[in-house]
A and B are shown apart, each in its own frame.
Chain A
């Protein structure tokens, strides 16, 4: 079994605020292999974004209390001094964000912003960097890239802006690309274009990808492995087929049941998860999901369940027995006949 590209071990990120300690990430472990696409699924407050912002070093000690390890290519990124971390960020690990409209600086040309990324990490001349930038724009299917490089972000459409962001993120040939809700702000046909682009470029650049999203459809189509997060913890992990055809956690069941699906007959009532997501300051004791869980029993209120493997690398953090999980899933959740 080769070394994982990225291994997050027991990461906690707590933010001290006036109202109390916000436990944004509370003991999360992730293992990402070279060449893999990992989907990280969760709703607001799940900690999915904070986890990867911390991996990138964009959240640091000083703003938050951080514990655990983030091992990337053998090094613990959390222990790196800021200068060294900066050589990793952007060069070995890149990140793209949700809203391409606000993620690019409105006052600088698009080409310039890509050139800036390149020249920060590689010693090349301005001309060479510019040529590389234009080439990247071409590779992300932006027509007339030489003209476009001289334009400002507001002259691009939403989809094109996201492509430009991807071009910028991949311009240094990183080993890992983190995409934080890359398509949420985009139209559905543009979304399909962007995801297909990410898939293709992943092959061309031989990179690994993490897609952070709340859209279960997106991860089903593009991710080999999926991690489900809730209230700062990982509650389930498995391959795409494990999650969709054999989910083992009541939260995952809740998500699967509550979404409207194109491949299902319409008109039946949706099954939402009752209640509201928990406060991250006053996290419920025991299993954080228990107040909303239809299957909770006494133990759930006191013991925090650990993420334990049930089958291969399929793991879930739930006190229900495996037999119960499978039964409930097949009787109540599974949609296909």
Chain B
């Protein structure tokens, strides 16, 4: 296992390196206006533009520019997202500041939604598998169809309309200036975003659990468990679910990892100042340092999630052995 972890960590670093390189190349090749020119504004002199270019490091050769960005990705205090290189091309705010202030919002959104979709999706998936063919099963399948088909933004607006605008049950969306993420969560400002974001996942997981559990319950070791005289409840939970949930854990890790990089549709509709919102803005503004910062964060979470999930799988399934 040790060898395996070392190998995977090296690959993780390699992946992040490649991601940063590709991102950089895309921006270099993109036919867009010169950021220096845009930054200085309308009335400029060539001298001002040249100064701006020097400040942005755009006068250096391409590979030196990349090296500067790459250096800023090394996770060392002082180097990481340093302000000399990593500042927004649009408003000059350091990327580090933005990302770290927005990260808690995205994390709260992601983790909260994850809890909701697990609490909804798994139990109904189990019920529908155990009572296959019954009314409950069909209801769950209809819900699943709905959840998988309904786009997040549609759900988001629907919930806002019904629960905030009409019923006044939910508070206004967004986080007012001055309120911490904590307070926002406690006052219920995340409830609708959590629900909207989790619906699709809950539906998907319900279907997956249902399928896995039905298949698992047909295995020989379930017959052995029943032959031993175990209660049906024990057979389902300790023997059936144990196998059926293992692939779900893998999926969960990957989904969560992806979400931590920012769920931008939900953040936009609910006006939550998270990383996703920031990323979209940065992309539209050709704001390269911000995009690079956000991309690397996202890539890091996904790659780390991949690694953790694979390692966890080895603990769940004793037949899996990594060398």
A residues sitting closer than 8 Å to B (CB atoms) are: 56, 58, 86-91, 94-95, 97, 99, 102-108, 116-117, 120-121, 152, 154, 165, 168
Contact = CB atoms under 8 A, between A and B. Distances in A.
B307 interface: no
A105 B228 contact: no
Q: Which of B219, B225, B229 has the most CB of A within 10 A?
A: B229
B220 A154 contact: no
B96 interface: no
Contacts of B246: 107
B38 interface: no
Contacts of B228: 89-90, 94, 116-117, 120, 168
Interface string B72-116: 000000000000000000000000000000000000000000000
Contacts of A104: 221, 224
7 contacts: A58-B226, A89-B227, A90-B230, A105-B225, A107-B317, A116-B228, A154-B318
Contact of B318 (A99, A103, A116, A152): A152
Nearest to B222: A105
Contacts of B234: 120
Given A89-B229, A105-B221, A105-B225, 16 more contacts: A86-B231, A89-B226, A89-B228, A90-B227, A91-B229, A102-B220, A105-B224, A105-B239, A106-B221, A106-B317, A106-B319, A107-B243, A107-B317, A116-B230, A120-B234, A165-B224
A103 B316 contact: no
Nearest to B318: A152
Nearest to A87: B229
B223 interface: yes
Q: 4 closest pairs, A vs B, by CB? A: A90-B229, A102-B220, A90-B228, A89-B229
B242 interface: yes
A104 B246 CA distance: 17
B319 A120 contact: no
Contacts of B225: 105
A119 to B, nearest CB: 10
Interface string B1-44: 00000000000000000000000000000000000000000000
Contacts of A165: 224
Given A99-B220, A152-B319, A154-B319, A105 B227 contact: no
B317 A56 contact: no
Contacts of B319: 106, 152, 154
Contacts of A99: 220
Nearest to B316: A107
Contacts of B224: 97, 103-105, 165
Q: Which of A90, A91, A105, A106 has the most CB of B within 10 A?
A: A105
A22 to B, nearest CB: 18
A102 B227 contact: no
A82 to B, nearest CB: 8
Contact of B221 (A88, A103, A117): A103
A56 B227 contact: yes
B221 A102 contact: yes
A95 B319 CA distance: 26
A121 B219 contact: no
A103 B317 contact: no
B94 to A, nearest CB: 49
Contacts of A91: 229
Nearest to A83: B231
Contacts of B227: 56, 58, 89-90, 94-95, 97
Contacts of A108: 242
Nearest to A108: B242
Contacts of B318: 106-107, 152, 154
B221 A58 contact: no
Contacts of A168: 228
A227 B220 CA distance: 26
A291 to B, nearest CB: 33
Interface in B204-257: 219-221, 223-231, 234, 239, 242-243, 246
Nearest to A165: B224
B223 to A, nearest CB: 7
Nearest to B317: A107
A121 B230 CA distance: 9
A111 to B, nearest CB: 13
B213 to A, nearest CB: 15
A251 B80 CA distance: 83
Contacts of A154: 318-319
A81 to B, nearest CB: 13
A86 B228 CA distance: 8
B103 to A, nearest CB: 36
A249 to B, nearest CB: 31
Given A105-B242, A107-B316, A120 B221 contact: no
Contacts of B226: 58, 89
Contacts of A58: 223, 226-227
A102 B231 CA distance: 20
Nearest to A92: B229
A86 to B, nearest CB: 5
A56 B228 CA distance: 10
Contacts of A87: 229
Contacts of B316: 107
A94 B223 CA distance: 12
B244 to A, nearest CB: 11
A154 B221 CA distance: 13
A27 B85 CA distance: 86
A122 B84 CA distance: 72
Contacts of B243: 105-107
